[in-house]
């Protein structure tokens, strides 16, 4: 069985996680055979260890980790690989793969550019 951990930063405000929960729900709808978990670097649960453990217990033997970060800063380059190494040590029978940060995808860059130039997209606009 294959698994996917969507890895985000975390925040004190639970509403911050709503878009990430929507992404996870959409991935589950598109790939129902894929075990999907959200994990957070800090301030929210589950953390990467707990999410990885849950997928292993569900029978996953291959788990990809997708950082839902716009850029590959210190968290993606340093913190995440260190945490992923702990999972590799704890579960040597599982293949753990770290994917590039979502923000490095040309498709996401294009989507953000389209949102930026779309004057009709008033979803999140605030009036001054």
CA 103 vs. chain centroid, Å, equals 11
Dist. CA 92–CA 88, nearest whole Å: 5
Tell me what pLDDT residue 123 has: 63
Query: What pLDDT is recorded for position 125?
Result: 61
pLDDT score of 120? 72
Taking the mean position of all CA atoms in its chain, how far away is CA 86?
Answer: 18
Write out the chain's pLDDT in tens, 128 residues.
999 999 999 999 999 999 999 999 999 999 999 999 999 999 999 999 999 999 999 999 999 999 999 877 777 788 899 999 999 999 999 999 999 999 999 999 999 999 999 877 666 565 54
Q: Where are the domains positioned within the chain?
A: 2-102
Contact 77, 42 (CB under 8 A): no
Q: Which residues contact 104 (CB under 8 A, 6 or more apart)?
A: 71, 72
Q: What is 2-102's CATH number, 3.40.50.920, 1.10.730.10, 3.40.50.1400, 1.10.287.1080?
A: 3.40.50.1400
């Amino acid at each position: 069985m294959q698994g996917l951990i969507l890895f985000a930063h975390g925040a004190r405000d639970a509403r911050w996680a709503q878009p990430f929960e929507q992404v996870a729900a959409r991935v589950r709808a598109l790939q129902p055979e894929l075990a999907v978990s959200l994990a957070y670097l800090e301030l929210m649960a589950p953390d990467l260890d707990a999410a990885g453990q849950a997928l292993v217990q569900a029978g996953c033997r291959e788990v990809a980790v997708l950082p839902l970060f716009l850029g590959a800063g210190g968290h993606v380059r340093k913190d995440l690989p260190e945490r992923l190494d702990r999972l590799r040590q704890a579960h040597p029978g599982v293949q753990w793969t770290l994917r590039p940060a979502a923000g490095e995808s040309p498709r996401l860059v294009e989507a953000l550019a389209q949102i930026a130039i779309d004057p009709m997209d008033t979803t999140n606009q605030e009036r001054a």
